[in-house]
């Protein structure tokens, strides 16, 4: 069974500063993928970034980067230069070759950006 844990229910960050959202995972599968999604108050889940378990380099997408530490089973999301529009719920999720297309989600972190 797979499990995702996000230990920060809510976080504040000052506009233009960087912020790290924590995510730890548990799986017995060797091949898996880690994803981060953003959910604004409108409800739509927006894909941000992906990291494969065999990827040796940390994934980056614009202001988003994923700090992947395989031995510690962590996949933290780093948002640089926070903007007011970054205020939203953020979900960490994983899939594995043994689980098909099923995504297992963490409980989410609500990020609030202060002007």
Partner 1 sequence: KAGVTQTPRYLIKTRGQQVTLSCSPISGHRSVSWYQQTPGQGLQFLFEYFSETQRNKGNFPGRFSGRQFSNSRSEMNVSTLELGDSALYLCASSLSVAQGSSTDTQYFGPGTRLTVL
- Give the interface segment with partner 1, choosing from 16-24, 40-48, 58-66, 75-83 (CB under 8 A): 40-48
- Give the interface segment with partner 1, choosing from 16-24, 35-43, 60-68, 69-77 (CB under 8 A): 35-43
Residue ranges in the chain assigned as alpha helix (H): none
Total number of residues binding partner 1 (CB under 8 A)?
32
Burial class (CB in 10 A: 0-12, 13-18, 19+), 9: exposed
Cβ pair 53, 70 in contact under 8 A: yes
From 24, 23, 28, select the one nearest 2 (Cα to Cα): 28
Between 19 and 94, CB nearer to partner 1:
94
Residues that bind partner 1 (CB under 8 A): 29, 31-33, 35, 37, 42-47, 50, 52-53, 91, 93-108
């Amino acid at each position: 069974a797979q499990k995702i844990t996000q230990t920060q229910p809510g976080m504040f960050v000052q506009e233009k500063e960087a912020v790290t959202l924590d995510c730890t995972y548990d799986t017995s599968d060797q091949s898996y993928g880690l994803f981060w999604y953003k959910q604004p108050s409108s409800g739509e889940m927006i894909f941000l970034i992906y990291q494969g378990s065999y990827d040796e380099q940390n994934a980056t997408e614009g202001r988003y980067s994923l700090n992947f530490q395989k031995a510690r089973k962590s996949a933290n999301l780093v948002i640089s230069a926070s903007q007011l529009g970054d205020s939203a719920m953020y979900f960490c999720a994983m899939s594995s070759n043994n689980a098909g297309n099923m995504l297992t989600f963490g409980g989410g972190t609500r990020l609030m950006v202060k002007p």
